[in-house]
Amino acid sequence: MVRFETIWKIVKIFMAIQIFNAVMDYYVWVAYGFLVPSWTIATLNLIYVPLILGLKIAQQKEKAKLKLQKI
């Protein structure tokens, strides 16, 4: 069975790739006037990546709080 930590490592790699992809989409859009909806996709990626990271951090804090309550 795949562990959660393994999946999280894959998700972090994916998020780094999406940030790079978004920056490149913006560059092509601004530098060359390449008018396709890629900038929309880039914007969505730049919004979703911090949300995913924020949810993970909140989840880790909640787990730590529960562990402290058990002690």
| DSSP H stretches of helix in the chain | 4-32, 38-70
Report the pLDDT value the prediction gives residue 36, as an integer from 0 to 100.
Answer: 66
Helix, strand or coil for residue 66?
helix
CA nearest neighbour of 43 among 23, 17, 68, 14: 23
- Per-residue pLDDT of the chain (71 residues), as tens digits, is 777 778 788 888 888 888 888 888 888 888 887 766 776 777 787 788 788 878 878 888 888 888 888 76
- Predicted TM-score (pTM) of the model is 0.58
